[in-house]
Amino acid sequence: MSQDVPLQRPAFVAPKSMAETFRKAIEAAELAGTSREAMTLRLTLRDASNIRRDNRIAVSDLSFAGGEMRLLHVKVVTGGVDVSMLDLGA
């Protein structure tokens, strides 16, 4: 005899926000003594596009002024990298 076993679908888990990943890295670097002015977020074109469209990012955390994008007061440079990273400066 076989018994019917109900299939349980895994609960949907929303993908983690890239901004949240970078927030943790920025805060860790700041605790280690690096100022946000010295940091640069080097983003792939895709990650930069995703961050611009991410509605989970507070308006106060993302700014566009003077032709420059900043996330959490850290300058963002788009393109020129294969993997997005936080550059802590020299």
Q: What is the pLDDT of residue 13?
A: 63
Whole-angstrom Cα distance, residue 24 to residue 20? 6
Q: Is the pTM of this model over 0.85?
A: no
User: Could you tell me the residue ranges of all domains in the chain?
Assistant: 18-82
Closest listed residue to residue 71, CA positions, set 23, 3, 5:
23
Give 54-72 as a DSSP string: -TTS-GGGEEEETTEEEET
pLDDT in tens, 10-58: 666 666 778 888 999 999 999 999 999 999 999 999 999 989 888 888 8
Q: How confident is the model at residue 85 (pLDDT cuts 50, 70, 90)?
A: very high
Beta-carbon neighbour count of residue 70 at 10 Å? 16
- SS3 state at 63: strand
Specify whether the CB–CB gap between 43 and 76 falls below 8 A: yes
Q: How confident is the model at residue 83 (pLDDT cuts 50, 70, 90)?
A: very high
